Structure 1
Amino acid sequence: MEQIAFGTDGWRAPLDTFTPDRVRMVAQGIASTLRAEGHDQPVVVGYDAREGSRGFAEEVSRVLCANGFDVLLSERDRPTPLYAYTVVDRECAGAVVITASHNPPSDNGIKFIPSDGAPALPPVMDAISDSLAEPTPLPADEHGSVRGFDPLEDHATHCLELTESVLEDASGTDGTDVHTHLEGLTVAYDAMHGSGRGTTDALLERAGAGVERLRCTRDSEFGGGAPEPAAETLEELADVVTSGAADLGVANDGDADRIAVVTPERGYLDENLLFAALFDWLLESRSGPAIRTVSTTSLLDRIGEAHGELVYEVPVGFKWVAQGMAEHDALVGGEESGGFSVRGHVREKDGVLVALLTACMHAAEPIDDRVDRLLEIHGHIVQRKTSVPCPDGEKASRLEALADDVPNTVAGAAVESVNTADGYKLALEDGSWLLVRPSGTEPVLRVYAEAETLDRVTELLEAGERLLESVRE
Structure 2
Amino acid sequence: MEQISFGTDGWRATLETFTAPRVRMVGQAVATYLREEGETAPVAIGYDARETSRGFAEELSRVLCANGFDVVLSARDCPTPVVAHTIVERELAGALVVTASHNPPEYNGVKFIPGDGAPALPAVMDAIADRLAEPEALPEAEHGTVEAVDLRESHAAAARDRLDAIAPGAVDSIADLSVAYDAMHGSGRGYTDRLLSEAGASVERLRCERDPDFGGTPPEPATANLQDLIEHVQRGDADLGIANDGDADRLAVVTPDRGLIDENLFFAALYDWLLTFDSGPAVRTVSTTYLVDRVAAAHDETVHEVPVGFKWVAQAMADHDALVGGEESGGFTVRGHVREKDGVFVALLAAAMHAAEPIDDRVNRLLEEHGTVVQDKRSVDCPDAEKARVIEALADEIPQSVAGEPVEDVNTADGFKLLLTDGSWLLVRPSGTEPVLRVYAEASDDERVDALLDEGTDLVARLV
TM-score by length of 2: 0.99
Of 370, 376, 379, the match for 2:368: 376
| 1:183 match | 175
CA contact (8 A) 2:324 2:335 kept: yes
Post-superposition Cα deviations, 1:152-208, rounded to whole Å, max 9, x if no partner, equal: 01000000000011112xxxxxxx361x22122100000000000000000000011
Is structure 2 residue 19 aligned with structure 1 residue 19?
A: yes
Task: Give the letter for the 1:49 counterpart.
Answer: A
| 2:260 match | 268
Task: Give the letter for the 2:16 counterpart.
Answer: D
| 1:83 match | 83
Is structure 2 residue 300 aligned with structure 1 residue 318?
A: no
Post-superposition Cα deviations, 1:73-109, rounded to whole Å, max 9, x if no partner, equal: 1110110000000000000000111100000001111
Q: Once the 2 structures are TM-superposed, how far is the Cα of residue 53 of structure 1 from its aligned partner?
A: 0.7
Is structure 2 residue 61 aligned with structure 1 residue 69?
A: no
Q: Once the 2 structures are TM-superposed, how far is the Cα of residue 470 of structure 1 from its aligned partner?
A: 4.2
Tell me the secondary structure at the aligned position of residue 438 of structure 2: strand
RMSD, matched Cα: 0.8
Q: What is the identity percentage for the equivalent residue pairs of Structure 1 and Structure 2?
A: 68
Matched residues in 2 for 1:467 and 1:224: separation? 35
Post-superposition Cα deviations, 1:334-361, rounded to whole Å, max 9, x if no partner, equal: 0000000000001000000000000000
Matched residues in 2 for 1:145 and 1:90: separation? 16
Tell me the secondary structure at the aligned position of residue 167 of structure 2: helix
Tell me the secondary structure at the aligned position of residue 113 of structure 1: strand
Matched residues in 2 for 1:188 and 1:5: separation? 38
Matched residues in 2 for 1:393 and 1:46: separation? 31
Q: Once the 2 structures are TM-superposed, how far is the Cα of residue 45 of structure 1 from its aligned partner?
A: 0.6
Matched residues in 2 for 1:336 and 1:427: separation? 18
| 1:34 match | 34
Matched residues in 2 for 1:133 and 1:354: separation? 38
| 2:122 match | 122
Matched residues in 1 for 2:117 and 2:212: separation? 27
Task: Give the letter for the 2:373 counterpart.
Answer: I
Aligned in 2, Cα 1:139/1:193: closer, same or farther, shift over 3 Å?
same
Task: Give the letter for the 2:297 counterpart.
Answer: E
Task: Give the letter for the 2:374 counterpart.
Answer: V
Tell me the secondary structure at the aligned position of residue 351 of structure 1: coil
Aligned in 2, Cα 1:402/1:177: closer, same or farther, shift over 3 Å?
closer
Matched residues in 2 for 1:177 and 1:268: separation? 24
Matched residues in 1 for 2:26 and 2:170: separation? 45
Matched residues in 1 for 2:224 and 2:461: separation? 29
The unaligned stretches of length 5 or more in structure 1 are 169-175
Task: Give the letter for the 2:387 counterpart.
Answer: K
Equivalent positions of 1:205-244 (< 5 A) are 205-244=197-236
Q: Once the 2 structures are TM-superposed, how far is the Cα of residue 471 of structure 1 from its aligned partner?
A: 3.5
Equivalent positions of 1:231-310 (< 5 A) are 231-310=223-302
Task: Give the letter for the 2:159 counterpart.
Answer: C
Tell me the secondary structure at the aligned position of residue 27 of structure 2: helix
Matched residues in 2 for 1:469 and 1:12: separation? 26
Tell me the secondary structure at the aligned position of residue 257 of structure 2: coil
Post-superposition Cα deviations, 1:412-455, rounded to whole Å, max 9, x if no partner, equal: 11111110000000010011000000011111111000001110
Matched residues in 1 for 2:460 and 2:54: separation? 43
Is structure 2 residue 138 aligned with structure 1 residue 138?
A: yes
Matched residues in 2 for 1:315 and 1:247: separation? 35
Equivalent positions of 1:377-456 (< 5 A) are 377-456=369-448
Post-superposition Cα deviations, 1:302-338, rounded to whole Å, max 9, x if no partner, equal: 1100100001110000000001101100000000000
Task: Give the letter for the 1:139 counterpart.
Answer: P
Task: Give the letter for the 1:317 counterpart.
Answer: G
Matched residues in 1 for 2:227 and 2:461: separation? 35
Tell me the secondary structure at the aligned position of residue 355 of structure 2: helix
Matched residues in 2 for 1:147 and 1:389: separation? 44
Task: Give the letter for the 1:245 counterpart.
Answer: D
